[in-house]
Structure 1
Amino acid sequence: MSTYFRKLCSYKIYKSFSLRNLREVHFMQDSVILISTAIEPGARSSKRTASTLYGDALARAGLSGVLYAGGDPIVLAGRCDGLLLSGGGDLEPALYGQVPQSHRLSLDPVRDTEELALLRAFCALRKPVLGICRGMQVINVAFGGTLLQEVAGHDGIPHPVTTVAGTHTARLTGGFFKASSYHHQAVGQLGHGLCAAAYAADGLIEALEHRSLPILGVQWHPERMIPGLCTDVPADHSALFTYFIQRKPKP
C-alpha cells in the first residue's frame, strides 16, 4: 500500500460510520468531510474533545467526518467531498505581511502550511469548504487578506451577530442571533474574491463567503450551537453543516 493510503487509513471516523480503509469511501452513501485540526489521531486532550464536536455536528447533518492526519492534499481533495477548517491557534503574521503584535499569539507553522495547501487543493476541485474561527482566518489569509492580531470582547463572550441579506450565511442561520465566540483575533482586510456575510455589533467581520467558489467562513463556533449536542447560546446552527451538501459539485 502506498504512503498516501497508509496515512488515509489512520484517520478516525466519527459517529456516522466506522471506516477501516478509505478506499471504501467511494462506496459510502454519506459525504465524507475532511476535518483539519492540530490533534493527532488517538491523542487524549481537551482539544480532542473539542474536535469531536465537529464530527458530531457533521453526523447530525448526515455527513461523515475524517480527522486529517497528513497526506497529499491533492489526493485528499480527490477522495473527500469537502473540507472543514476548524478552530485553533493563530496564523503566523508573516503570512499576511505583518510582524507579531500580540503577546497572546499561539503559532503552529506546520499547521499553517498544511491547511493552506489543503484549501488550495479543495478550491482547485471546487469542493465546498467551511472555515470555523481560525478556519475563517485561514481562508482570508489564503486569498490575500489580513488579520487584526488582537481584538477585545470576543474571547469567551457570547455576542450578537447580524448577517448580510442574500448571503448563504443568512439563509442558513437567519438574520440575527447571539453567537458562541472564542477568538482574540479577527479578519482585517478581506482577501480577493471574498465578501463579508455577517458582522458583530462593533463592526468586526463575523462571516465571509467567496463570490464564485463554494467557500464559507464563520468566526463563531456553530458546533457549540446545536441543541442536544452542545449549546453555549440558545440558537441552532446545525444547518450550517448542511452547506457541504448544498454546495457539493454536481456529477
Structure 2
Amino acid sequence: MKATPSLERCWPGIRAEALQAVATVFERDCGQQEQSLARASQLLDLLHAQGFRSREVKEWLAETGLGAAWNAALDGGRPRSVAPYLAPLLAGRTADVLSGSGTLTSALARTADVDAYERVGAYPTEPAVQTRPLDALWDMGTGVYDTALFATVLHHEPDPALLVERVLITLRPTRLAVVENCLSDTVSNEFHDFMDAFFNLCLNDFAVDCPGEHRTIEGWLDFLGQYGDARLVHQLKDVTGIPFPYEIFVVDLGPGDEE
C-alpha cells in the first residue's frame, strides 16, 4: 500500500474522507466516545505507513480493542441495521448469492425464507448460517427461488454482469434485491477501495476481490435497469460498523426479462 504512487497522489483526499467517517464508527459503534477522532487518526496514519497486512496495524487493533469491537459491530449491528428494511423486499424464497459471513442471512431468516450460497474457501471462519457452495446454486434449476439477493456483492465482482446474468439464466427469479455502497459527492471511489481493502485484508483476512466496481446511485440504476424495472427503495445513512451509507435496490423482472 505505502509504495504505490497512485495511493500517494490520492492519500490526502482519502484521509480527509476517512477521518471523520472512521471516527463516527468508533464513537457510535465501538465505545470510543472520548477518543474517536484521535484513534481514527492513529489508525489511518498506521495504515498509510505500514500497509493493510502489517502486523503492527493488526496488533494495534488488538491492543486497543477496536478490532474486536468493529467486528462485533459488523457481525451483530450491521445485520440489525439492514434486515428490517431488506426483508420485506424479498418476495417468496430467496437465494442469498455470495452470503459472506452469513450474519445478514441469519437476521433475514427470522422473517424471510432465505438460503445462503458462497464460494468455497472465501471466508476463513464458520458462517453464521448453513451455507451451500455457490456451484450448487447452478444445479437448482428454475422455479426454486423467487428472489436473488446480492448484498454488497456486485462491487466486488470483476464482471458483475456475468454473475447477475448467470443467476437470471439459471434460476429465473422474479426479483433481484441489491444492497450497495454508492459513490456520491462525499464518498469517492478511492475511499471505497481503501475501506474494502481495510475490511478484507486488515480487519479480517477474506479471499474477496476489491476490483473497484463502485457506481453512483444513477450508475447502479442504469446497470440494473438492463435486466428489468429497477428502482432505489431505501438509503440507509447509519449502518452499524459501516463508514458510508447503504442503498437498497430492487429489480422486478417482467415476462422474458430473465432470458
Same fold (TM over 0.5): no
Specify which structure has the higher proportion of helix.
2
Specify which structure has the higher proportion of strand.
1
- Normalising by the smaller structure, the TM-score range is 0.3 to 0.5
TM-score of the superposed pair, with normalisation by structure 1: 0.34
TM-score of the superposed pair, with normalisation by structure 2: 0.34
Q: Which has the larger Rg?
A: 2
